[in-house]
Amino acid sequence: MKKIFGGIGAAVLSGLAVLMVGMQVQAEPTRATMPDIDKLIHYTTVTRGEVTEHLMTTREAIEAVQKGQPIPAGTHVALVDYRGGKVFRYFIIEKGENWGADYDERRRTGDWQFQWFKPDGTINTAENTARCQSCHTSRADRDFLYSFNEMRRFELK
């Protein structure tokens, strides 16, 4: 009896290990959450052909950038990608206290984590957010943001 249970346990465990290895490649939950978009400030727009992107963040983040201070933990930055007047996808980054420690040094993007959300707010599990990070790494001198200067120049009301 004992032996059979041991066998089942090992099978379940190895199945779980396969599942977890698979998850790292495909689905990629991160700590980044979907913000309440309506509460964010729209600080710049990028258009490229059919694509219109609204870049949005918090007042606190914009103020920090303008004062030359670090963007605070708890900040969301959203890139809302519209096609044909409808939301096509949300690219979201969120910063949290020491979140960078989840990644090894080569992948780390400060304390930001990345996520791709579908229009219904669910995660696009086909994306590997390491790709997001590898691109944004080139902006390490501007807190990993492409639109750092647009935040700096935005006139808060």
Name the region of 85 (left: φ>0; alpha: ψ -120 to 50; beta: rest): left
CA atoms within 13 A on the CB side of 14: 5
Which token pair is 10?
């090992």
Q: With CB under 6 A as the contact rule, which of the stretches 4-12, 64-72, 75-83, 94-102 interacts with ligand HEC?
A: 75-83
* 145 makes contact with ligand HEC (CB under 6 A): yes
Closest CA to 147 of 94, 79, 83: 79
Q: With beta carbons less than 8 A apart as the criterion, state whether 42 and 85 touch.
A: no
Q: How many residues bind ligand HEC (CB under 6 A)?
A: 21
What distance in Å separates the CA atoms of residue 153 and residue 150, rounded to the nearest whole number? Answer: 5
Shortest CB 6 distance to ligand HEC, Å:
43
Task: Using CB under 6 A, pick the residue from 40, 55, 61, 65 that binds ligand HEC.
Answer: 55
Give the gyration radius of the chain's Cα atoms: 19
Task: Using CB under 6 A, pick the residue from 95, 113, 127, 154 that binds ligand HEC.
Answer: 127
Q: With CB under 6 A as the contact rule, which of the stretches 13-21, 60-68, 76-84, 98-106 interacts with ligand HEC?
A: 76-84
* 132 makes contact with ligand HEC (CB under 6 A): yes
- Positions in the binding site for ligand HEC (CB under 6 A): 46, 53, 55, 77-79, 91-93, 114-116, 127, 129, 131-132, 135-136, 145-147
